């Protein structure tokens, strides 16, 4: 492709200068930082990396489809979602360590999946 044509195509595209490394984050009362990563496994709406008080990664949590996490306290996790009729709702999950299922992240710690109480 000729250089001037390539430049014209590049100039006409609306390409971001960078891709955001995170989608969202929130802080907990216990001093943890929950960071929603931009890469999400298929079948989930979000993957969250939890950073401890000392700045070390503790674990990852997968958000079920249709739920956005908003707050956490100890092993409780609050999220919001919408029904099929676009009615908003709040959901409470309990964090539990999977018994041999899910991905074990050796460098980070175990992967957790929320369970509705």
Average pLDDT rounded to a whole number, residues 50-62: 90
CA angle 65, 68, 71 (to 5 degrees): 140
Structure tokens at 59: 């674990």
Gap between the Cα atoms of 69 and 46, Å rounded: 9
pLDDT at 10: 67
Q: Residue 112: is its pLDDT beyond 70?
A: no
Structure tokens at 103: 């991905």
pLDDT at 95: 84
Gap between the Cα atoms of 71 and 79, Å rounded: 7
Judged by average pLDDT, the poorest of 7-11, 26-30, 65-69, 97-101 is 97-101
| Residues 35-61 as b or e (16 or more Cβ within 10 Å = b) | bbeeebeeeebbbbbbbeeeeeebbbb
Give 108's DSSP letter.
T
DSSP 3-state assignment of 29? Answer: coil
Average pLDDT rounded to a whole number, residues 109-117: 48
Q: What are the residue ranges spanned by the domains of the chain? A: 23-115
């Amino acid at each position: 492709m000729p250089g001037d044509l390539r430049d014209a195509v590049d100039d006409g595209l609306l390409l971001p200068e960078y891709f955001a490394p995170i989608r969202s984050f929130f802080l907990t009362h216990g001093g943890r930082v929950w960071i929603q990563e931009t890469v999400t496994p298929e079948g989930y709406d979000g993957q969250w990396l939890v950073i401890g008080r000392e700045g070390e990664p503790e674990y990852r949590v997968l958000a079920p489809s249709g739920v956005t996490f908003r707050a956490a306290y100890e092993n409780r996790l609050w999220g919001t979602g919408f029904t099929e009729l676009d009615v908003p709702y709040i959901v409470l999950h309990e964090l539990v360590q999977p018994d041999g299922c899910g991905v074990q992240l050796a460098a980070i710690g175990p992967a957790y999946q929320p369970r509705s109480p």
